[in-house]
Structure 1
Amino acid sequence: MRTAQRLVHCLLAPLLLLCLPGTVHAAAPTPRDTVADVARSIQDHYYDVECAAEIAAGLRKAAAAGEFDRYTDPRDLVTALTERIKSHDGHFRVNWLPPEQRAAEPRGRPGPNVAQPVDYARRRNYGVHRVEILPGNLGYLDLKEFADFRFGEPRTPARVALESALQLLASTDALIIDLRDNGGGSPVSVGYLVSAFTPKGADIYSSFRWRDGDALGSTSEAPVDWYPNPRLDVPLYLLTSPRTASAAEALVYTLKNVGRAVVIGETSAGAANPGAEIDAGNGFSVFVATGSPTSPITHRNWEGSGIAPDVAVPQREALRTAQALALDSLLKKGLSGGDAIDARWALDAVRAESASVPALAHAEYTGQYDRMRIEEVAGRLYLRNGKRPQQPLAALERDLFYLVDDPSVRVRFERNGDGRVAALETLRPDGSANRYRR
Structure 2
Amino acid sequence: MPSAVRFAGPLPLLFALCALAAAATAAAVDPRSQVAGVAQVVEAHYHDPARGREIADGLRADAAQGTFDALHDPRDLATALTGRLRPLDRHFAVRWSPEPASAPGRQEGSPASSAPPLDRSRRGNYGVRRVEVLPGNVGYIDLRQFAHFDFEAPEPPARRAIEAALQLVAHADALVIDLRGNGGGSPAMVGYLASAFTPRGADIYNVFHAREGTTSEAPDDWYPTPRLDTPLYLLTSARTGSAAEAFAYTLQNAGRAIVVGERTAGAANPGAEFDAGHGFRVFVSTGSPVSPVTGRNWEGDGVPPDVAVVPADALSTARMLALEAMLERGPPDAEAVDARWVLEALRAQAAAVDSAPFEDYIGGYGSVAVGTRDGRLFLRNGRRPPQDLMPLGDDLFAVADDPSLRVRFERDARGRVAALETLGSDGRASRFRRGG
Q: TM-score, normalised by structure 2?
A: 0.90
Question: What secondary structure does 1:251 align onto?
Answer: helix
2:29 alignment partner in structure 1:
29
Superposition map of 1:160-179 within 5 A: 160-179=160-179
Please state how far the C-alpha of 1:101 moved relative to its aligned partner. Answer: 7.0
1:415 alignment partner in structure 2:
411
Please state how far the C-alpha of 1:151 moved relative to its aligned partner. Answer: 0.2
1:371 alignment partner in structure 2:
367
2:14 alignment partner in structure 1:
none
Please state how far the C-alpha of 1:417 moved relative to its aligned partner. Answer: 2.5
Answer yes or no: is the 8 Å Cα contact 2:355–2:391 preserved in 1. no
Superposition map of 1:194-209 within 5 A: 194-209=194-209
Partners of 1:160 and 1:279 lie apart in 2 by 33
What amino acid does structure 2 have at the position aligned with 1:143? Answer: L
Partners of 2:327 and 2:253 lie apart in 1 by 26
Please state how far the C-alpha of 1:202 moved relative to its aligned partner. Answer: 1.3
Answer yes or no: is the 8 Å Cα contact 2:141–2:165 preserved in 1. yes
Q: Are 2:93 and 1:93 aligned?
A: yes
What amino acid does structure 2 have at the position aligned with 1:294? Answer: V
Please state how far the C-alpha of 1:103 moved relative to its aligned partner. Answer: 8.4
Structure 1 residues 143 and 238 mapped into 2: Cα distance closer, same or farther (>3 Å)?
Answer: same
Give the superposed CA RMSD.
2.3
Partners of 1:388 and 1:153 lie apart in 2 by 49
Please state how far the C-alpha of 1:267 moved relative to its aligned partner. Answer: 1.4
Partners of 1:26 and 1:301 lie apart in 2 by 39
Answer yes or no: is the 8 Å Cα contact 1:125–1:161 preserved in 2. yes
Partners of 1:110 and 1:409 lie apart in 2 by 57
2:110 alignment partner in structure 1:
109
Please state how far the C-alpha of 1:102 moved relative to its aligned partner. Answer: 9.1
Partners of 1:141 and 1:27 lie apart in 2 by 48
Q: Note the alpha carbon deviations across 1:253-293, whole angstroms, 9 max, x for none.
A: 11111101111111111111110111112221111100111
Structure 1 residues 179 and 103 mapped into 2: Cα distance closer, same or farther (>3 Å)?
Answer: farther
Q: Are 2:15 and 1:14 aligned?
A: no
Question: What secondary structure does 2:432 align onto?
Answer: strand
Superposition map of 1:20-419 within 5 A: 28-100=28-100, 105-109=106-110, 117-213=117-213, 218-419=214-415
What amino acid does structure 2 have at the position aligned with 1:272? Answer: A
Higher RCO structure, 1 or 2 (CA under 8 Å, sep 6+): 1
Answer yes or no: is the 8 Å Cα contact 1:175–1:237 preserved in 2. yes
Partners of 1:358 and 1:431 lie apart in 2 by 26
Please state how far the C-alpha of 1:179 moved relative to its aligned partner. Answer: 0.9
Answer yes or no: is the 8 Å Cα contact 2:195–2:223 preserved in 1. yes
Partners of 2:408 and 2:101 lie apart in 1 by 63
Answer yes or no: is the 8 Å Cα contact 2:31–2:71 preserved in 1. yes
Paired residues, what number? Answer: 416
Please state how far the C-alpha of 1:110 moved relative to its aligned partner. Answer: 5.8
Answer yes or no: is the 8 Å Cα contact 2:135–2:404 preserved in 1. yes
- Consecutive unaligned residues of structure 1, counting only runs of 5 or more, are 1-12
Partners of 1:250 and 1:230 lie apart in 2 by 19
What amino acid does structure 1 have at the position aligned with 2:309? Answer: V
What amino acid does structure 2 have at the position aligned with 1:32? Answer: R
What amino acid does structure 2 have at the position aligned with 1:284? Answer: F
1:3 alignment partner in structure 2:
none
Answer yes or no: is the 8 Å Cα contact 2:356–2:395 preserved in 1. no
Question: What secondary structure does 1:259 align onto?
Answer: coil
Please state how far the C-alpha of 1:26 moved relative to its aligned partner. Answer: 12
Q: Note the alpha carbon deviations across 1:141-172, whole angstroms, 9 max, x for none.
A: 11111000000235211111111110001000
Answer yes or no: is the 8 Å Cα contact 1:15–1:277 preserved in 2. no
Partners of 2:102 and 2:390 lie apart in 1 by 54
Partners of 1:109 and 1:246 lie apart in 2 by 38
1:6 alignment partner in structure 2:
none
- Consecutive unaligned residues of structure 2, counting only runs of 5 or more, are 7-20
What amino acid does structure 2 have at the position aligned with 1:92? Answer: F
What amino acid does structure 2 have at the position aligned with 1:153? Answer: A
Partners of 1:137 and 1:167 lie apart in 2 by 14
Partners of 2:71 and 2:389 lie apart in 1 by 56
Partners of 1:31 and 1:200 lie apart in 2 by 52
What amino acid does structure 1 have at the position aligned with 2:60? Answer: R
What amino acid does structure 2 have at the position aligned with 1:76? Answer: D
Answer yes or no: is the 8 Å Cα contact 2:271–2:287 preserved in 1. yes
Question: What secondary structure does 2:340 align onto?
Answer: helix
Answer yes or no: is the 8 Å Cα contact 2:29–2:74 preserved in 1. no
Question: What secondary structure does 1:368 align onto?
Answer: strand
Partners of 1:199 and 1:59 lie apart in 2 by 46
Q: Which moved more, 1:324-333 or 1:70-79?
A: 70-79
Partners of 1:107 and 1:14 lie apart in 2 by 24
What amino acid does structure 2 have at the position aligned with 1:240? Answer: T
Answer yes or no: is the 8 Å Cα contact 2:262–2:311 preserved in 1. yes
Partners of 2:363 and 2:229 lie apart in 1 by 48
Please state how far the C-alpha of 1:299 moved relative to its aligned partner. Answer: 1.6
What amino acid does structure 2 have at the position aligned with 1:67? Answer: T
| Identity %, equivalent residues | 58
Question: What secondary structure does 1:436 align onto?
Answer: strand
